[in-house]
Amino acid sequence: MAKLTAKQLERIARALAEPRRVALLKQIGARTAATPCAALLEVHDVTPATLSHHLKELEAAGLVESVRAGKCMNVTLKRDVLRAYLDQLARI
Amino acid sequence: MAKLTAKQLERIARALAEPRRVALLKQIGARTAATPCAALLEVHDVTPATLSHHLKELEAAGLVESVRAGKCMNVTLKRDVLRAYLDQLARI
DNA sequence: CGAACAGTTCGATAGTCATCTAACTGTCGA
DNA sequence: TCGACAGTTAGATGACTATCGAACTGTTCG
């Protein structure tokens, strides 16, 4: 199971501090299948540049995983990491 | 039970994004009795001004409650709010 | 190859915020 | 009342970051 370092915990916390990223996570987690970037762009009113930035941030935190399929980028939620983070906070 | 608005959720997330505040929360939550400000100052290497700022932030988020007793300020963790926040995230 | 498309990277801008020092308020004991 | 102590407020500074437009990379298809 995911064991998180202090640095990772901090990174996750900062990632979740941005409402837009939480909204992205929600959409990504809403289905078990990977979510294509384009679907995220349709829902959220940001430029591709900004979306890319947020996804990079989420990925750096370990909260999502991105896989390229041809031109299309597909994103999946890493629930175990999110769970591990919540477990840490619950221990407070 | 605590039902959190979107604004509150955002506020809590931002409060938890700062490692120092999480450390403060941990110390405050470590005992059931209220924690005096002075005890926090001893542990964390910040000026009183900075500590005051962080506590205000935590209080605005609803994560702690402060009660003045004479010269001394005592802080307690509001576990139900933290729990409600974690429940929200777990629902992702 | 060349054009169209999906996403990324760069550089700039603006807003937020952690931190400090210094000055302030309020409380208690002498 | 006066001074010491606990914490707060104000203002400044520096760091970080969300956002954008523009230029770029890589992929597919004609």
- Closest protein residue to C18 (Cα–C1'): B50
What pTM does this model have?
0.96
Chain B: residue whose CA lies nearest to A14: B17
pLDDT grade, residue A36 (50/70/90)?
A: very high
Is the pLDDT at B23 greater than 70? The verdict is: yes
Would you state the structure tokens that stand for residue A90, as one six-digit string?
A: 């619950």
Average pLDDT along chain A: 97
Return d(Cα B87, Cα B81) in angstroms, integer.
Answer: 10
Average pLDDT for residues B7-33, to the nearest whole number? 98
pLDDT digits (tens, 9 = 90+) for A53-80: 999 999 999 999 999 999 999 999 999 9
CA A90 vs. chain centroid, Å, equals 20
Q: Which residues of A touch B14 (CB under 8 A)?
A: 17
